[in-house]
Structure 1
Amino acid sequence: MRGIFFCAAFAIMWPSLYAQVKLDYYLPLEDYLPGIPEPGSVIGHPVGEWHLTHDKLTAYLSLLARESDRVIMQEYARSWENRPLFHLIITAPANHAGLEQIREEHLKLSDSGSGRRPDPGDMPVVVRLGYNVHGNESSAANASVLVAYYLAASRKQEVLDYLDNMVILLDPCLNPDGFNRHASWINMHKSRTPMPDDNSRGFREVWPGGRTNHYWFDLNRDWILLRHPETRGRVEVFHRWRPNVQTDHHEMGSASTFFFQPGIQSRTHPYTPEHTTELTRKIGQYHAAALDPDGSLFFTEEIFDDFYYGKGSSYPDVNGCVGILFEQAGTRGFERNTSRGKLTFPYAIRNQVRVSLSTLKASFEMREELLEHQRDFYSSTRSLFDASKEKAYIFGDTDRATLAEFVDILLRHRIRVFGLKQGHTIDGITYAPGNAYIVPLNQPQFRLVQSLFRPLKTFADSLFYDVSAWTLPYAFNIPYADLGQTRLAEELMGEQVLEISRQPGRIVGDISQAGYVIPWHEYYAPGALYRIQDAGLMTQVATEPFEYKHREISRSFGYGSIFIPVQKQINTPQEVYDIIGQAIQETGVIAYSIGTSHTSQGMDMGSSRFVPLEKPALLLLTGEGVNSLEAGEIWHLLDARMQMPVVLIDQGQLNSMDLSPYTHLLMPSGSYDGINASGRMEITRWVSKGGTIIALNAANRWLKEHKLADIDFMDDKTDSSGYQAYGDLGNKIGAQDITGSIFESHVDISHPIGYGLRRQTIPVFRNHSLIALPDKRPFACPVRYTADPLLSGYVPEEKYDDLRNTPVVLIGSHGSGRLISFIDNPNFRGFWYGTNKLFLNAIFFGPVVSSYSTR
């Protein structure tokens, strides 16, 4: 009994050493409905005393939806860790009764081809409040429960008027996995005595931190790319409602203050209308009025910009909505000493609440103006189309899976896509019905289509908060062209594509006694190959092309085609057939049954130029010092997409490991100081015995430093432009960066790294300044920049000359092993399907690269 008393006393004493924060610190002291529970009564503590975990947040908002007739909860997705993503729809009970009709009428504002346009004077404005897309920016989600309570319980006439004239979509946590990871870290480090010392361990999350999702992706870069279930779900919600205002609540460094948009004007994307910025600035006056009474300092039109449309505050701008970014100085804890004084978690939460409510006030008072903006945004697309020299885009002539994934992205963005009625040849590429599509520009999503397809090479500013290019066909390595004639586009357009799915795989031909061939150009061929190898079958790769004609099969097979012989397997012919059949059914690739070893042209099936392959056993270096984004991209590609196992280890584990069971060591960018002499000795021994290292970007410096890779890098040049104004220093430094641009490279498709590619050029992405010097070994550089490589994006003029004809991929050897150096990241943000092929080739075919080619 005394133990029970002690625990109860401890629970009471715990919060007493922290400043007590009551509800009226955050919300107006006014009349609330007594039947609506306030957050603290459900979560077990006042908001801000502990960091909310996702389960507590969900429990409270679920109860709120059950108890209030103003609120309903709708789940729209599940995270990778199976946590629910949901939003609250908050509006007056009378609006709930006719919610679907309200939604349908609202959508008519954004259809430039619709007949009757609804009168904005009669319509509710739709506002979407989005919190915590970065998991460790916790003041946002912790504020969301307070905003939800206020809207559900307040009896104030102003709030009742909001509800009568608004539909509010409150999304409390856009990244539940990262949010929960961060909350656990912070809460486990909470001291009974407040600990604001900036050196405290609690302020420094262990790798990878809570910012990212399960696979360590930044979800606030995924709105365009749609690589993750969290984003696909919320983009579907966005287009289901097409809000007029969308907020995006974040945190920044603890020594800062508070930011709200507009951002830097010279960095606004050219397809964002000026009126969007004007509305953003006008709404900003409401934020200022909300923060000033508390003395909260803020700034605007600095640091942040609205160029890249893949963020939660910029994606709305290209969809007839006003996106607003908020950045609050983050505590990453409870109390923190900063150069601006002590920062507390409740203070950060309160600022997020203030601007949430000021957004609602602005949206209510600007309702008709915001609705008219949306209507005008879409009605103006006709004049934009008339003035555009591009009238449509045609694309295709690639593998089925890549093309299906590309079209799926367009459809999810509500872009109208049509099949091809008849074949058409442009620049030597024939676009054929069934393997090509057309996107007309005479459609409501004109601006978004142009931002995805039309390359940009000239800019008003040379600094970018994020990437300067994301031309989608380049990322997927899909040939495309613009059509400049409306009549031609209309003649080519077939039926509209409403949905698309990956086609099932199949085996062409009967059970074979000789073997089966899988063409390597299909995107998911590596996944199929691994499944077949994992089932115990021997596999071989074609190092030369060949043609096969026998019975119903007549086709050419290119470099990299996979041959699975039937004889000398431990399985029966029927079992081999079944194993291959299951693998291709799961991956959607096509296999061809071979009835004879004799080919019609090129090497026969028994040739030694079919080289045996080993099943890869992969180690991926992670942990402190390693670029977590690149590590996550590799993990996601192999695990989620190809369903290939990969062992994740901290680099320090190499110091006491035996690498013999593994075939590959994957090294993302980073610092590898954690590998000591013992680890380096083991790596050298392992490579010499036949191991393969695949290194990205800066990891290659480590390989060179320890004499594993023979690469020379270009030194940074000293600025010799003379004396300049100190005030221009930041712009001068920033203008030298390549923050994200797309370049053309030449690829040797006869080299194992280029297997499966059909053209001798491939777009690559670069967002760094590391440049490898041209290599003197004639066969060691299978991918290199062309002489005039820029396809889309910004590049400093002085850096451009340095890039010409330099390596993108270099191959080296050490003893019997191989070192494959990617100077650029082939897996950037999970959407570079084209260069994914190079990376996967390095895994499967790197060990069979001739050692003579590396000399």
Structure 2
Amino acid sequence: MSRLLRLILFSVLLTALAVAPARAQSASDLQSPADFLGYEMGSQFTPHHRVMDYVQHVAAASPNVEAEPYGESYEGRTLMVAYISTPDLLDERETVRQNNLRRIGLADGAPTADDAPAIVYLSYNVHGNESVSTESALQTLYELADPTNSQTQPWLDNTLVLLDPLVNPDGRARYVNFYRESVGAQPNARRMAREHQEPWPGGRANHYYFDLNRDWAWASQQETQHRLELYNRWMPHVHVDYHEQGIDSPHYFAPAADPFHEDIAAWQREIQTEMGRNHARYFDENGWRYFTRERFDLFYPGYGDTWPTFNGAIGMTYEQGGSGRAGLMVHTAEGDTLSLHDRFVRHHATGLSTVETAAREADRLVSEFVSYHETAASNPPGDYAAYLVKARDAADHGVPNTPDDRIHALHEHLEGQGIASTIAGDGTDMQRSGLRYADQTEQSAAIEPGDLVVSLNQPKGRLAKVLMEPQTTVVDSVTYDMTGWSLPYAYGLEAYALEQSVSVSGDTEAAPPTLQGADTDTPYAYLANWHSIADASFLSDLIEAGVKVRFAREAFELNGRTFEPGTLAILRANNRNMGSDFDRIVQETATEHERSLYRTATGFMDEEPDLGSGNIRYIDAPHVGVLAGSPLSSLNVGEVWHFFEQQLGYPATLLEPGNFRDEWLSDLDVLVMPSGSYGDWLTDERTEALQGWIQNGGHLIALGAANSALSGRDGFDLAAPPADADSAAASPELTRYEDRAREAATRGTPGSVHATTLDGSHPLAFGIERYFTLKRSARAFAYLDSGWTVAALEDTAPLTGFMGHEAQQELDDTLVFGVQSYGQGRITYLVDNPLTRGFWHNGQLLMSNAVFFVGNE
């Protein structure tokens, strides 16, 4: 079942669950958060279940509020949104929603009313340990819900507010539980106190340690998928993302800092500034410190301010000083005491100020919002009119008539973003000229059945451009996050940016799986393709079902078709113990994974190797361990954990580094070392234990900074590249203090995309036609002397994004991925993280190859 279908079914279920008694006609029973919860707001942290209780109370007691669950977290906690407006607007809520979509071309038909309220979406606590956000949300909800509040009620006459009090309930629960267990009878404001030393992994991230504020454009996480479904149903005009920052930082609110992405409109900047001026009025009255236009830019599209901005909204981040180290109170560097209440009142003030400004600017917000989408559809931004993404040419290769999984995965990804795309149907045959992504050259490209076409002539054309464009225009090298991300690179696909518009028709659903080849109920073997993470997940479930599987180390031919290295061969001879269940299990598993199979009645191939050859290697199902704990990167640990559980579906045991016992190695075939600091863990004694385990057949996979820990140690063929003589001899240049950040950028790699030279004959690269690597570190290693350099960076000029010129020199001709044989075992070096933020799709197959093929070859 596709992710989209799961979300639709889940949405239907939630709608059914959300049917509630009639909305209150008066607010006589409405309680403040303090009265309902039994403590003053800002005096303690409210757990998730009490947050939900209060939202439901307000919805039942106020005629201004309706509440709706819209999903749940990985740990099963409810995600809920409150709709706030006048009773009349709430009665017309569905009409307001549909008319808003009709005005911008995202729903059929004409609007049924001329007047339109401003739709404001307030999102709180996306980072779980930035915990004051939810406390402020409850007070803001109350004051907007109270019909007797003479200040707020006029704002609701032309404004409908969506308030999500708790975006990341699992992370918040982790933090709140920690704090409640750690604080004494009275809070201790000294920074050294235990209650201010949140343990690994902290409460910032979700269950899988993903940063949900960097997931909007990728939607790799369940919470984000539910939130985007809600967002796209409404398409608000204003979106605010509530955060906290360092203890000593003053409050930050819009307008944002440079660099602004080139697709952000002037009117969006202007209204941001109006918002900031209104907030400043309240902060000035109270003597509160604040700053604007510094640090927090609008460039990377995965944030809760930028993604809504590219959807035509006024997207903003508000940052209060505090975060997980602040607790209920903490001393600042200037000798003051920052309390939870101090933090609470500031976020509460900006919440009300946002609604106030939106009400005042409602007419302009709506008209500019409509124009933003209309002009995108009629006059696409930028130099290109459409993007063409080519499907794999499989005419004579592998199982016939199988769709390219990557094309369908990208189509589904775009669909989740609300972006229209079309998979060209049978009979499509046209030529267009355009910029080829892989080498940035102008070429002619054929548009054929199975190819994906994304036209920018659509309401979400600007978002489509931002996510798909071959080159991102970086207007300032000093930026807060990644500068390169284009989706065709992430999926490893051949793509072209087309100057001419193009229209194709076709089916968006993949062809149903089929049984092909020999017409027999008891084939000698089943053959299956190996091109995507979907194929790897199929293999995982076969292994889980007890099926023994082999893979081709070399290509072979059968019935005029070439089956490439990596092809899965499921032989009856290897599975005789399964008896008559063999065919049923293989076929049912294939159907579940929507995999087509090719049956062969013989093991004798037209071109060797035959299926009984030693080149058709047995996959000895590995027992996998993953180091997971301090002092490793919780983000990378989470990426690996999520990969095994949610993407690959293969069991992996998480191992606490601090409790690790060397004798555990004997129970493992594969040990994954996520990125992190290994200084105290990788002692000489442990290094010897790892070396002995590898020599006896173990397989060590090192990601990111874990490679630095192995570099230079005896037995590990990983070393820094030779120093450039000219560079080493050059005298350092004087740099002005004010230019220090810009000077550091010359050595920086904030996230750029590069083509690699790939050795497709190595099992680590099986099924991968091309690999574009996402560089987020200047970590550099020479080509392997005694191993295989599977992917190399020979040209450091970024295809998209920024890399400092000094970093380019240092990374020239360096290792990206490699494998070293060591005794009977293997060491796989993954210098660049192939699992970044769960969206680098091509890296998922690479990691699968490392798990299943390397060491079995």
Same fold, TM-score > 0.5, yes or no:
yes
Task: Give the whole-Å Cα distance in 2 for the aligned partners of 1:678 and 1:40.
Answer: 57
1:833 positional shift: 1.0
Task: Give the whole-Å Cα distance in 1 for the aligned partners of 2:289 and 2:234.
Answer: 34
Counterpart selection for 1:590 from 596, 617, 632: 596
Q: What is aligned with 2:457?
A: 442
Counterpart selection for 1:419 from 423, 428, 443: 423
Q: What is aligned with 2:411?
A: 407
1:215 positional shift: 0.7
Counterparts of 1:723-762 in structure 2, within 5 Å, are: 723-757=734-768, 759=769, 761-762=770-771
- Using the TM superposition, name which of 600-609 and 215-224 deviates more: 600-609
Counterpart selection for 2:681 from 655, 674, 680: 674
Q: What is aligned with 1:456?
A: 471
Counterpart selection for 1:482 from 474, 497, 507: 497
Q: What is aligned with 1:346?
A: 341
1:712 equivalent in alignment to 2:707: no
Please say if residues 745 and 804 of structure 2, whose CA atoms lie closer than 8 Å, have aligned partners that are also in contact: no
In the superposition, relative to structure 1, how do residues 685 and 286 fare at CA in structure 2: closer, same or farther (>3 Å)?
A: same
Counterpart selection for 2:616 from 598, 610, 614: 610
Please say if residues 331 and 344 of structure 1, whose CA atoms lie closer than 8 Å, have aligned partners that are also in contact: no
Q: What is aligned with 1:273?
A: 265
Q: What is aligned with 2:835?
A: 827
Counterpart selection for 1:325 from 303, 313, 317: 317
Task: Give the whole-Å Cα distance in 1 for the aligned partners of 2:606 and 2:569.
Answer: 16
The aligned amino acid for 2:465 is Q
Task: Give the whole-Å Cα distance in 2 for the aligned partners of 1:36 and 1:58.
Answer: 15
In the superposition, relative to structure 1, how do residues 158 and 194 fare at CA in structure 2: closer, same or farther (>3 Å)?
A: closer
Please say if residues 445 and 496 of structure 2, whose CA atoms lie closer than 8 Å, have aligned partners that are also in contact: no
3-state SS of paired residue (2:580)? helix
Counterparts of 1:169-568 in structure 2, within 5 Å, are: 169-265=162-258, 267-332=259-324, 333-340=327-334, 341-381=336-376, 384-385=379-380, 388-398=382-392, 400-421=404-425, 422-424=428-430, 431-433=447-449, 435-456=450-471, 458-486=473-501, 489-490=502-503, 493-495=504-506, 497=508, 500=509, 510-549=520-559, 555-568=561-574
1:50 equivalent in alignment to 2:40: no
The aligned amino acid for 1:774 is Y
Task: Give the whole-Å Cα distance in 2 for the aligned partners of 1:348 and 1:507.
Answer: 64
In the superposition, relative to structure 1, how do residues 320 and 572 fare at CA in structure 2: closer, same or farther (>3 Å)?
A: closer
Q: What is aligned with 2:819?
A: 811
1:166 positional shift: 0.8
Task: Give the whole-Å Cα distance in 2 for the aligned partners of 1:190 and 1:96.
Answer: 42
In the superposition, relative to structure 1, how do residues 394 and 382 fare at CA in structure 2: closer, same or farther (>3 Å)?
A: same
Task: Give the whole-Å Cα distance in 2 for the aligned partners of 1:503 and 1:46.
Answer: 58
Counterpart selection for 1:93 from 87, 94, 99: 87
Task: Give the whole-Å Cα distance in 1 for the aligned partners of 2:523 and 2:315.
Answer: 62
- Using the TM superposition, name which of 794-803 and 236-245 deviates more: 794-803
Task: Give the whole-Å Cα distance in 2 for the aligned partners of 1:502 and 1:225.
Answer: 25
- Residues 575-626 of structure 1 show CA distances to partners (whole Å, capped at 9, x for unaligned) of 2212212332332222222201111123111212112221011100111111
Counterparts of 1:731-810 in structure 2, within 5 Å, are: 731-757=742-768, 759=769, 761-777=770-786, 780-787=788-795, 789-810=797-818
Please say if residues 258 and 298 of structure 1, whose CA atoms lie closer than 8 Å, have aligned partners that are also in contact: yes
- Using the TM superposition, name which of 460-469 and 41-50 deviates more: 41-50
Please say if residues 407 and 452 of structure 2, whose CA atoms lie closer than 8 Å, have aligned partners that are also in contact: no
Please say if residues 80 and 214 of structure 1, whose CA atoms lie closer than 8 Å, have aligned partners that are also in contact: yes
3-state SS of paired residue (2:772)? strand
Please say if residues 143 and 149 of structure 2, whose CA atoms lie closer than 8 Å, have aligned partners that are also in contact: no
- Residues 683-708 of structure 1 show CA distances to partners (whole Å, capped at 9, x for unaligned) of 22211111000001210122224424
1:601 equivalent in alignment to 2:617: no
In the superposition, relative to structure 1, how do residues 357 and 503 fare at CA in structure 2: closer, same or farther (>3 Å)?
A: farther
Please say if residues 109 and 118 of structure 1, whose CA atoms lie closer than 8 Å, have aligned partners that are also in contact: no
Task: Give the whole-Å Cα distance in 2 for the aligned partners of 1:580 and 1:520.
Answer: 16
1:51 positional shift: 1.0
Task: Give the whole-Å Cα distance in 1 for the aligned partners of 2:512 and 2:169.
Answer: 32
Task: Give the whole-Å Cα distance in 2 for the aligned partners of 1:727 and 1:40.
Answer: 48
The aligned amino acid for 1:164 is D
Name structure 2 gaps, 5 residues minimum: 1-25, 393-402, 433-442
- Residues 418-439 of structure 1 show CA distances to partners (whole Å, capped at 9, x for unaligned) of 2325034675875432x22211
In the superposition, relative to structure 1, how do residues 710 and 302 fare at CA in structure 2: closer, same or farther (>3 Å)?
A: same
- Residues 792-826 of structure 1 show CA distances to partners (whole Å, capped at 9, x for unaligned) of 11111222233333211121132221110011000
Please say if residues 507 and 581 of structure 1, whose CA atoms lie closer than 8 Å, have aligned partners that are also in contact: no
In the superposition, relative to structure 1, how do residues 249 and 616 fare at CA in structure 2: closer, same or farther (>3 Å)?
A: same
Please say if residues 530 and 566 of structure 2, whose CA atoms lie closer than 8 Å, have aligned partners that are also in contact: yes
The aligned amino acid for 1:648 is L
Please say if residues 517 and 563 of structure 1, whose CA atoms lie closer than 8 Å, have aligned partners that are also in contact: yes
3-state SS of paired residue (1:848)? coil
Please say if residues 735 and 743 of structure 2, whose CA atoms lie closer than 8 Å, have aligned partners that are also in contact: no
The aligned amino acid for 1:582 is E
In the superposition, relative to structure 1, how do residues 613 and 423 fare at CA in structure 2: closer, same or farther (>3 Å)?
A: same
1:570 positional shift: 4.4
Q: What is aligned with 1:697?
A: 704
Task: Give the whole-Å Cα distance in 1 for the aligned partners of 2:766 and 2:710.
Answer: 25
3-state SS of paired residue (1:633)? helix
1:406 positional shift: 1.0
Name structure 1 gaps, 5 residues minimum: 1-31, 850-855
- Using the TM superposition, name which of 229-238 and 43-52 deviates more: 43-52
Please say if residues 522 and 589 of structure 1, whose CA atoms lie closer than 8 Å, have aligned partners that are also in contact: no
Task: Give the whole-Å Cα distance in 2 for the aligned partners of 1:529 and 1:118.
Answer: 52
Please say if residues 127 and 245 of structure 1, whose CA atoms lie closer than 8 Å, have aligned partners that are also in contact: yes
Task: Give the whole-Å Cα distance in 1 for the aligned partners of 2:700 and 2:220.
Answer: 27
1:845 equivalent in alignment to 2:853: yes
3-state SS of paired residue (1:247)? strand
1:258 positional shift: 0.5
1:117 positional shift: 7.1
3-state SS of paired residue (2:71)? strand
TM-score (normalised: structure 2) = 0.89
1:345 positional shift: 0.7
Task: Give the whole-Å Cα distance in 2 for the aligned partners of 1:540 and 1:209.
Answer: 42
Please say if residues 243 and 319 of structure 2, whose CA atoms lie closer than 8 Å, have aligned partners that are also in contact: yes
Please say if residues 130 and 249 of structure 1, whose CA atoms lie closer than 8 Å, have aligned partners that are also in contact: yes
Q: What is aligned with 2:21?
A: none
3-state SS of paired residue (1:601)? coil
Counterparts of 1:604-643 in structure 2, within 5 Å, are: 604-643=610-649
In the superposition, relative to structure 1, how do residues 483 and 537 fare at CA in structure 2: closer, same or farther (>3 Å)?
A: same
Please say if residues 331 and 345 of structure 1, whose CA atoms lie closer than 8 Å, have aligned partners that are also in contact: no
Task: Give the whole-Å Cα distance in 2 for the aligned partners of 1:730 and 1:788.
Answer: 22
1:675 positional shift: 4.2
After superposition, the CA RMSD in angstroms is 2.3
Q: What is aligned with 1:7?
A: none
The aligned amino acid for 2:763 is P
Please say if residues 639 and 645 of structure 1, whose CA atoms lie closer than 8 Å, have aligned partners that are also in contact: yes
The aligned amino acid for 2:74 is W
Q: What is aligned with 1:853?
A: none
In the superposition, relative to structure 1, how do residues 428 and 162 fare at CA in structure 2: closer, same or farther (>3 Å)?
A: closer
Please say if residues 745 and 789 of structure 1, whose CA atoms lie closer than 8 Å, have aligned partners that are also in contact: no
In the superposition, relative to structure 1, how do residues 106 and 139 fare at CA in structure 2: closer, same or farther (>3 Å)?
A: same
The aligned amino acid for 2:176 is A
Please say if residues 377 and 460 of structure 2, whose CA atoms lie closer than 8 Å, have aligned partners that are also in contact: no
Q: What is aligned with 2:129?
A: 136
Please say if residues 140 and 349 of structure 1, whose CA atoms lie closer than 8 Å, have aligned partners that are also in contact: yes
Please say if residues 625 and 668 of structure 2, whose CA atoms lie closer than 8 Å, have aligned partners that are also in contact: yes
The aligned amino acid for 1:695 is A
